[in-house]
Amino acid sequence: MKVLVIGEFPFVTEVGELCLNAGHDTAVYIVEDLHHTAASQGAIPEAAAAEVVIELFNESAAGKEQLLTIVGRAVPPDSLILTTALAVSTTQAAAWLPRPERVVGIGLLPPLPAAGIIELASGLQTSATALSRAQAFWQQTGQETITVGDGPGLVRARTVGCLINEAVSALQEGVATPADIDTAMKLGTNYPLGPLEWADLIGLDTVLGVMTGLYHEWGEDRYRPAPLLRRMVLAGRYGRKSGAGFYSYGP
Q: Does the 156-234 domain belong in CATH 3.90.1170.30?
A: no
pLDDT given at position 113: 85
d(CA 241, CA 200): 8
Per-residue HEC secondary structure of 197-224 comes to: HHHHHHCHHHHHHHHHHHHHHHCCHHHC
18 close to 8: Cβ distance less than 8 angstroms: no
State the Cα angle at 29 between 24 and 31, rounded to 5°.
150
Q: What letter would DSSP give residue 6?
A: E
Q: What is the mean pLDDT of each run of 10 residues along the chain (251 residues)?
A: 95 96 95 63 79 95 91 93 96 96 96 90 98 97 96 96 98 97 96 96 96 96 97 97 94 66
Scanning the chain, the segments in alpha helix (DSSP H) are 11-21, 31-34, 61-74, 90-95, 128-140, 156-172, 178-189, 195-202, 204-218, 227-234
pLDDT given at position 37: 57
Q: Which fold has domain 2-147?
A: Rossmann fold (3.40.50)
Q: Can you tell me whether residue 125 is helix, strand or coil? A: coil
Give the start-to-end residue ranges of the domains of the chain: 2-147, 156-234
